[in-house]
Amino acid sequence: MSKGEYDTSLQDICTQLAQKWLAGNVADTTGNDIENFTSGQLQELLDQLIMADPLGNDLISKMEKVYPKISTSKNSEVRFRWIRVGLKGRFKSAIQNALDMVTEQVGHLIM
């Protein structure tokens, strides 16, 4: 790698997976897809989905089931982005997840 070039391999994996979901080609997806992802990679994947056209409810539902590492994440940055993906796609459970997160955050501020 020469000066001024950056290794984008970790981001490229996120981009490939995001494109797969956006195209709806997810029949072969498994939790193994993101097994070794860092929280930064999960955030990148979700950021790419947020910036694209909304995913349909069927795809969000499948992603919720296939990637519990994302959908049940306790990492607030990952959770916030997951909620945004859901809200953008008008996924009903995203509303409750957002309300729960706000309530939890306010609870932490009061304590």
Residues 70-101 have pLDDT tens digits of: 999 999 999 999 999 999 999 999 999 999 99
Q: What percent of the chain stands above pLDDT 70?
A: 96
The Cα 16–Cα 63 span in angstroms is 15
User: In terms of residue numbers, what domain contains 56?
Assistant: 9-110
- Calpha distance 56→90 (Å, rounded): 8
pTM over 0.95: no
- 1 in a structural domain: no
- CA distance linking residue 47 with residue 18, whole number of Å: 9
pLDDT value at position 111? 62
Domain count, the chain: 1
In a domain, 31, yes or no: yes
Residues 27-74: pLDDT tens digits? 999 999 999 999 999 999 999 999 999 999 999 999 999 999 999 999
DSSP assignment, residue 52? S
φ, ψ for residue 5, nearest 5 deg: -95, 145
> Residue 44 maps to which CATH number?
1.25.40.320
